[in-house]
Structure 1
Amino acid sequence: MGKTSQTHIRRGLHRFARREHGNVTLETVIIAPILFWAFMAVVVIFDAYRQHSINQKAAYTIGDMISREDRAIGPTYLSGTRNLFDSLARSAEPSSIRVTSVRYDADNDLYLRNWSGSIGNIESATEAEVQGWDERLPIMPDDESITVVETWSRYAAPFSVGINDHDIQNFIFTRHRSSGVNTWDSDA
């Protein structure tokens, strides 16, 4: 390459670098996808928080409903409960619900399972599992009973921007409204 060719190329590059028309278009092409992604991320984050809040409110509603029940609870009752939860939580897929009646034994400082029932992809709570809830359950008087309602629902993000699909789990405990304790009847 000759000296005149190099000079010609240098001048052309220098002129190109000094020109400013078209910068806005170039900046828009670079920034627009970033702004679009940021907007979609805000939408997904807001939607995830909203769905978590809705699920928690639905779980509290189920807990309150069961705490007012004066008849035995069984599989049919849990099936209706799941339908109500799915409707309240706007679940796209069927959820899982586990209801456990827990009693506190002050003499041995243990939480004991009265009964447990579940519907969906979760097993009923075992005695050992309930005893492991001592950090999650409130301080209770001796021989006091509460109902623990656990719900699992699937969250599907509307866009893929960093928050993946995941399960939303709630752990709600409610004291019985009446003087009695809920009972389990596998035929109800």
Structure 2
Amino acid sequence: MLKKFRPFSRFAKDEHGLISVETVIIFPILLWALAAMFVFFDAFKAQNTNVKATYTIADLISRTSDPINDDFIDGMDNVFEQLVSSDQAANIRVSVVGQRLAPNGTDTERFLVWSQATGTMIAHTDVEAIEPMIPMMATGDQLIFVESTMLWTPVMSFGLSEMTLTNVAFTSPRFVPQVVFNASASGGDGGDGGLGGGRY
């Protein structure tokens, strides 16, 4: 009677073709894992590059001693696009915020000196939108606030979808008390007394 089970016993002990079966099962999983890791690595790389490019733009503007204008902001936008090396939409928004004594003479308040944006971004009209992100400031100081956005599209659809990378950077003017913007005819003077208008 045991002879009837011998073929099954031999089949259970037979290891021929085992590697082929394991390869068929494991290879698709391994391929998916490698593709997913590549996509996630590319996303982190793009975000890291975006952060560095944003701080670079802020640092370049902080070293400017002459008044800047629309062409200067457009030039900074072109530099940003070159730094991130992206064919996708990439834009920046540059704002200058300051701190002064409030009308009561005892408290302090933050205010928007000027703001300019490129592409689809819209210039700020007041300081409320960015005030929670402003670090501590001394009365009379001004800060350059640079925001950047870049559309990132994964090369493969593994785990991540298309997203907009957004970063901000603050810095102080290095060589002058404030960075002055020469606004167009539709804007203000870009100094303490007016706001530079955004380009839509």
- Structure-2-length-normalised TM-score: 0.80
Matched letter for residue 66 of structure 2: R
Give deviations 1:129-176, integer Å, cap 9, x for gaps: x22433311100112101100010111212211021211111111100
- Structure 2: tracts of 5 or more residues without a match: 186-200
**Counting helix residues as a fraction of each chain, which structure ranks higher?**
1
Note if contact 2:62-2:174 (Cα within 8 Å) is conserved in structure 1.
yes
Whole-angstrom CA distance in 1 between matches of 2:15 and 2:183? 78
Q: 2:62 aligns with which of 58, 67, 70?
A: 67
Matched letter for residue 51 of structure 2: Q
Q: 2:80 aligns with which of 67, 82, 85?
A: 85
Provide the residue aligned with 1:45 in structure 2. Answer: 40
Note if contact 2:141-2:177 (Cα within 8 Å) is conserved in structure 1.
no
Q: RMSD of the TM alignment (CA)?
A: 2.2
| Inter-CA distance 43–57: structure 2 relative to 1 (3 Å threshold) | same
Matched letter for residue 166 of structure 1: M
| Inter-CA distance 17–106: structure 2 relative to 1 (3 Å threshold) | farther
Note if contact 1:110-1:131 (Cα within 8 Å) is conserved in structure 2.
no
Matched pairs, number: 178
Q: Which region of structure 1 is more displaced relative to structure 2, 42-51 or 11-20?
A: 11-20
Note if contact 1:95-1:152 (Cα within 8 Å) is conserved in structure 2.
yes
Provide the residue aligned with 1:185 in structure 2. Answer: 182
Note if contact 1:75-1:119 (Cα within 8 Å) is conserved in structure 2.
no
Partner SS state of residue 147, structure 2: strand
Whole-angstrom CA distance in 2 between matches of 1:132 and 1:59? 19
Q: Which structure 2 residues correspond to residues 88-103 of structure 1 after superposition, within 5 A?
A: 88-103=83-98
Q: Which region of structure 1 is more displaced relative to structure 2, 101-110 or 91-100?
A: 101-110
Confirm whether residue 113 of structure 1 aligns to residue 112 of structure 2.
yes
- Structure-1-length-normalised TM-score: 0.85
| Inter-CA distance 126–17: structure 2 relative to 1 (3 Å threshold) | farther
